[in-house]
């Protein structure tokens, strides 16, 4: 049974670089019990006794909502949802439909499951800088290109329409500490931070995680978008 006065946390995308940092931060803060992880394959966890994995081997948009509702039905009280699910560096090799199937389809299904559970009022969702539902669908699907921005914009629109009352959207630019970020960029980009417009500054996986957890601990009353400056403000406010 969940601890008194603690919300559960349910996470999608915990196997990725940001997801691992997020899971560690959710556990570290000690404010959520239990911590539920929706995953295709079992994760190798190191001593996170409060983490409960819910395996969904056939993670398809028509199956995920039920799995989410089932996972949350096993625990009393309210919950908060986190999704950092995304294809990652492989988007350039995917068709538009394949990219949408993950970033839009699965995230929308997760959001729908959260709302259908009746226990979640707040979803924290990681998108990407430049997300634009009106961007062109032609050309390369690589990160930073128009088609990539289109899919991210569609994902944002989907989770807001299908999900709980409040959706906090986090839009990082280049993510440092990600397995998909070239090591040379991780070294060079911080050197030019002062010359980079704040909105487009690189951010670490751990900083994204801290910002998302800070927003979950002090949930806003309305949906909002958080770029680099807003994420840094959340971290600053959360450390006070």
Please state, in angstroms and rounded to a whole number, the distance separating the CA atoms of residues 192 and 237.
Answer: 25
| Percentage of residues of the chain with pLDDT beyond 90 | 78
What's the predicted TM-score (pTM) here? 0.91
**Would you state the torsion angle of the CA atoms of residues 64, 5, 16, 123, taken in this order, to the nearest 10 degrees?**
60
pLDDT of residue 1: 47
Report phi then psi at 204, rounded to 5: -85, 155
**Which of these ranges, 6-15, 41-50, 88-97, 226-235, has the smallest mean pLDDT?**
41-50
> Residues 91, 141: contact at Cβ < 8 Å?
yes
Give the model confidence (pLDDT) of 131-177 as tens digits: 999 999 999 999 889 999 999 999 999 999 999 999 999 999 989 86
Q: Which CATH superfamily is domain 7-238 in?
A: NAD(P)-binding Rossmann-like Domain (3.40.50.720)
> Residues 119, 78: contact at Cβ < 8 Å?
yes
Q: What is the largest CA-CA distance in the chain?
A: 52
Give the model confidence (pLDDT) of 80-122 as tens digits: 999 999 998 789 899 999 999 999 999 999 999 999 999 999 9
Beta strands in the chain (DSSP E): 7-12, 32-39, 51-55, 79-83, 120-126, 166-170, 175-176, 203-204, 224-226
Q: Partners of 122 in the beta sheet?
A: 166
- Tokens standing for residue 226: 């958080």
For tokens 């994420």, the residue is: 231
Among candidate residues 37, 175, 158, the one with its CA nearest the CA of residue 104: 158
Please state, in angstroms and rounded to a whole number, the distance separating the CA atoms of residues 26 and 51.
Answer: 10
What is the pLDDT of the chain when averaged over all its residues?
A: 90
Domain ranges (residues) in the chain: 7-238
Q: How confident is the model at residue 184 (pLDDT cuts 50, 70, 90)?
A: very low
Residue 73 pLDDT > 90, yes or no?
Answer: yes
Q: Is the dihedral of CA 214, 215, 217, 220 positive or negative?
A: positive
Spatial CB neighbours of 203, under 8 Å, sequence gap ≥ 6: 172, 173, 174, 175, 176, 228, 231
């Amino acid at each position: 049974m969940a601890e008194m006065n603690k919300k559960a946390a349910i996470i999608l995308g915990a196997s990725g670089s940001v997801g691992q940092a997020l899971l560690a931060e959710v556990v570290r803060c000690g404010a959520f019990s239990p911590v539920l992880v929706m995953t295709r394959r079992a994760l190798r966890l190191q001593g996170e006794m409060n983490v409960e994995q819910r395996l969904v081997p056939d993670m398809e948009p028509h199956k995920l909502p039920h799995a989410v509702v089932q996972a949350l039905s096993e625990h009393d009280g309210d919950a908060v949802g986190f999704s950092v699910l995304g294809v990652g560096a492989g988007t350039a090799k995917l068709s538009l439909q394949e990219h949408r199937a993950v970033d839009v389809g699965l995230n929308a299904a997760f959001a729908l499951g959260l709302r259908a559970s009746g226990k979640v009022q707040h979803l924290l969702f990681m998108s990407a800088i430049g997300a634009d539902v009106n961007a062109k669908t032609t050309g390369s699907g690589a990160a930073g290109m128009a088609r990539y921005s289109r899919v991210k914009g569609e994902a944002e629109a989907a989770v807001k329409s299908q999900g709980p009352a409040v959706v906090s959207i986090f839009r990082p630019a280049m993510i440092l500490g990600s397995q998909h970020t070239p090591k040379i960029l991780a070294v060079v980009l911080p050197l030019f931070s002062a010359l980079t417009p704040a909105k487009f500054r690189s951010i670490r996986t751990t900083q994204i995680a801290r910002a998302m957890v800070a927003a979950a601990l002090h949930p806003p009353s309305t949906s909002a978008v958080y770029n680099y400056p807003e994420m840094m403000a959340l971290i600053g406010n959360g450390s006070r």
